[in-house]
Amino acid sequence: DPGSTVTPTWSRSRGRDAAAFRESLRRHRFLNSSPWENTTAFYGVNQFSYLFPEEFKAIYLRSKPAMFPRQPTEMYKPIPNVP
Amino acid sequence: LPLRFDWRDKHVVTQVRSQQMCGGCWAFSVVGAVESAHAIQGEPLEVLSVQQVLDCSYKDDGCGGGSPLNALRWLNKTQVKLVEDSEYPFKAQNGLCRYFSSSQSGVSVKDYTSHDFSEQEDEMARALLTFGPLVVVVDAVSWQDYLGGIIQHHCSSGEANHAVLVTGFDKTGRIPYWIVRNSWGRSWGVDGYAHVKMGSNICGIADSVSAVSV
- How do residues A42-67 score in pLDDT, each as one tens digit? 999 999 999 999 999 999 999 987 77
CA–CA gap between residue B179 and residue B195 (Å, rounded): 5
Inter-residue contact B156 to B139 (CB < 8 Å): yes
pLDDT higher than 80, residue A78: no
**Is the CB of A11 inside 8 Å of chain B's CB atoms?**
no
In the prediction, which pLDDT does A64 show?
A: 81
pLDDT bucket at A39, cuts 50 / 70 / 90: low
In the prediction, which pLDDT does A71 show?
A: 65
**A residues 60..79 contacting B (CB < 8 A):** 60-71, 73
- Nearest to B207, CA basis, from A21, A68, A30, A24: A68
In chain B, what residues touch A20 (CB-CB under 8 Å)? none
In the prediction, which pLDDT does A8 show?
A: 52
Q: Is B86 exposed, middle or buried (0-12, 13-18, 19+ CB in 10 A)?
A: exposed
**Is the CB of B27 inside 8 Å of chain A's CB atoms?**
no
In the prediction, which pLDDT does B157 show?
A: 86
Q: Choose between B74 and A82: higher pLDDT.
A: B74
Are A62 and B23 an interchain contact pair (Cβ–Cβ within 8 Å)? yes
CA–CA gap between residue B185 and residue B27 (Å, rounded): 15
pLDDT bucket at A7, cuts 50 / 70 / 90: low
Inter-residue contact B205 to B143 (CB < 8 Å): no
A68 → closest Cβ in B64, B115, B144: B115
Active site residues of B: 25, 162, 182
Are A70 and B118 an interchain contact pair (Cβ–Cβ within 8 Å)? yes
Residue ranges in chain B modelled with pLDDT below 50: none
CA–CA gap between residue B146 and residue A48 (Å, rounded): 10
Are B67 and A64 an interchain contact pair (Cβ–Cβ within 8 Å)? yes
B115 → closest Cβ in A42, A44, A70: A70
In the prediction, which pLDDT does A33 show?
A: 85
pLDDT bucket at A1, cuts 50 / 70 / 90: very low
**Longest distance between any two alpha carbons in chain A, whole Å:** 83
Q: Are strands B209-213 and B111-115 parallel, antiparallel or unpaired?
A: antiparallel
Helix (H) or strand (E) holding B194: strand B193-197
Mutate to test the interface with B, among A5, A11, A46, A62 (most CBs of B within 10 A): A62
